[in-house]
């Protein structure tokens, strides 16, 4: 992970959603690596409340308060904060739990620049390999 990217446990996974759906059943149908949606949803208990949704709108739970306090302002400014389901944790006699990876906007820039650097290195390595092959073929 890079600076501005962190892992967090989803809060409230044992509670039912307002529409009556069960978060445990929703988590059971998820897959690791799934892209999720973060939505700032203030509630009386927490003005910075951030819900965690699947792409189809099903709610998995909430971002913990201390993380929501940090992420809600980004969402309010319309900045893109990504969330990816990292791990679904199943225990013998306890409810399912899950963790997500949050990527703030500044971390996305670092990740993109690293990807570009890797592509450039791969292109250079590919070019060197091609040159070696040509030299071998020409010398035969």
Q: How confident is the model at residue 4 (pLDDT cuts 50, 70, 90)?
A: confident
The closest of 101, 109, 103, 39 to 68, measured between CA atoms, is 39
What are the pLDDT digits (tens) for 101-113? 999 988 766 556 6
Higher pLDDT, 25 or 2: 25
Sketch the domain layout of the chain as residue ranges. 5-103, 110-140
The reported pTM is 0.76
Q: Which pLDDT belongs to residue 123?
A: 56
**Which CATH class name applies to 5-103?**
alpha beta
What are the pLDDT digits (tens) for 28-39? 999 999 999 999
Q: Kindly state the average pLDDT of the residues 118-132.
A: 61
Find where tokens 């962190």 sit.
6
H-state helical runs in 10-104? 23-28, 65-76
Alpha-carbon distance of 82 to 68, in angstroms, equals 13
Q: Is residue 55 predicted with pLDDT exceeding 70?
A: yes
The closest of 96, 97, 83 to 50, measured between CA atoms, is 83
H-state helical runs in 39-104? 65-76
CA distance readout (Å), 51 to 37, 46, 62 = 8, 11, 4
Q: Which pLDDT belongs to residue 125?
A: 60
Q: Is residue 40 predicted with pLDDT exceeding 90?
A: yes
DSSP 8-state code for residue 4: T
What's the chain's average pLDDT?
87
What are the pLDDT digits (tens) for 64-108? 999 999 999 999 999 999 999 999 999 888 899 999 999 998 876
Q: Is residue 118 predicted with pLDDT exceeding 60?
A: no
Q: What is the percent of the chain where pLDDT is above 90?
A: 68
């Amino acid at each position: 992970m890079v600076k501005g990217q962190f892992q967090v446990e989803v809060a409230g996974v044992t509670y039912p959603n307002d529409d009556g759906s069960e978060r445990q059943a929703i988590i059971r149908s998820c897959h690791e690596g799934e892209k999720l949606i973060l939505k700032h949803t203030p509630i009386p208990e927490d003005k910075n409340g951030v819900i965690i949704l699947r792409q189809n709108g099903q709610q998995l739970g909430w971002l913990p308060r201390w993380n929501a306090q940090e992420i809600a302002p980004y969402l309010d400014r319309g900045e893109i904060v990504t969330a990816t389901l990292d791990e679904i944790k199943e225990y013998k006699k306890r409810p399912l739990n899950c963790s997500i990876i949050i990527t703030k906007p500044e971390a996305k820039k670092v990740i993109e620049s690293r990807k570009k650097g890797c592509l450039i290195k791969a292109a250079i390595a590919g070019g060197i390999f091609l040159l070696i092959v040509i030299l071998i073929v020409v010398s035969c």
